[in-house]
Structure 1
Amino acid sequence: MPIKQIDHGTKEYKQMVDLRYEILRKPLQLNFDPAELEKEKNDILICAFEEEKILGCCLLTKIDKDCIRLRQMAVQNNLQGKGVGASILHYAENVARDAGYKKVMMHARKTAIGFYEKLGYKVSGHEFIEISIPHVTMVKKLHHF
């Protein structure tokens, strides 16, 4: 399962947006705002593929020189629980570490807290509502070797 960075606006990026829509937005009857997608030109876009088919993805958005935010983590429904998400997350952490970031933060859906905790993330702060569902902020310090 190759995991790689992709470029904004490509055929692979369209697959990424489609997957995120299916997994993250459609169940909530939400769409993407074109301005929101345009801003992703500045993000690090990470996807896992099998041949030409996207399996999962995430984005990394710079917060400041030490912190990067993981967003829009999505894995095909039939592949959830099979290690795809964990592999993508490890890859994203390595990209962030190589770029000099000291920590990764995210707004995790309450239903995903257990997944992120198993991978070393800690809840920071109180629960809040984002895109109509409960979330928490989670953080992980990246160790530089």
Structure 2
Amino acid sequence: MITVKTPQSEKEWEAYYDLRYRILREPLGKERGSERNEGDDTGTHFGLYENKVLIAVARLDLVDKTTCQARFVAVESNLQGQGYGRKIMTALENEALGLGYQKLILHARDYALPFYQKLGYTLVGPSYKLFDVLQHFEMFRSLA
């Protein structure tokens, strides 16, 4: 059974940040702790669980009255390409819609562009290089 929820217990939060670290920071040679930032206190966190095992994460940040941003989207490496990323993004988008947001932006890693394009996101252009090594690209999708 698949469920999407915000982590609640200390154990769930540890698993949440561990997955973010292993997928998004460890491959770049970054230290533990680099998977967290100040937005963690105010963002809406999503954990996708299959049979109570965390397999994907994402965070929704509010940008302004009409725009929000998807951040820290990650799926266990051995489960990528099996629809879990689509499921967690759908949950994030539905939450954004329910909150009345009209536009969702994100900054995708170069290798994730095809995934987001399949979900209906439009490429704006290069945005920044994470840690001066990994190019990201701004993308958006209208929600309304």
What is the TM-score of this pair, normalised by structure 2?
0.90
Match of residue 125 from structure 2: 125
Judge conservation of contact 2:103–2:141 (CA < 8 Å) in 1.
yes
Q: In 1, Cα distance between the equivalents of 2:123 and 2:25?
A: 23
Paired with 1:35 and 1:121, the residues of 2 have a C-alpha distance of 25
Q: State the partner residue of 1:140.
A: 141
Contact persistence 2:129–2:135 (CA under 8 A): yes
Which residue of structure 2 lines up, in the alignment, with residue 46 of structure 1? 46
Distance 1:110 1:48 in 2: 23
Shift of 1:16: 0.8
Question: Aligned ranges for residues 1-145 of structure 1 at < 5 Å?
Answer: 1-7=2-8, 10-31=10-31, 32-33=33-34, 36=37, 39-126=39-126, 128-131=128-131, 132-143=133-144
Deviation of 1:10 (Å): 3.2
5+ unaligned residues in a row in structure 2: which ranges?
Answer: none
Quote the RMSD (CA, aligned, Å). 1.8
Change (3 A) 1:80 1:129: same
Matched to 2:121, the amino acid is: Y
Work out the CA distance in 1 between the residues paired with 2:51 and 2:11. Answer: 14
Q: Tell me, in whole angstroms, the C-alpha distance in 1 between the residues paired with 2:41 and 2:80.
A: 27
Q: Aligned partners of 2:46, 2:70: CA distance in 1, in Å?
A: 10
Which segments of structure 1 move beyond 3 Å, counting only runs of 4 or more? Answer: none
Q: What's the CA shift string for 1:75-111, capped at 9, x where partnerless?
A: 0111100000001001100000001111110110010
* Residue 33 of structure 1: how far off its partner (Å): 4.4
Shift of 1:117: 0.2
Cα shift at 1:57: 0.7
Residues in 2 aligned to 1:136 and 1:34: alpha-carbon distance in whole angstroms? 19
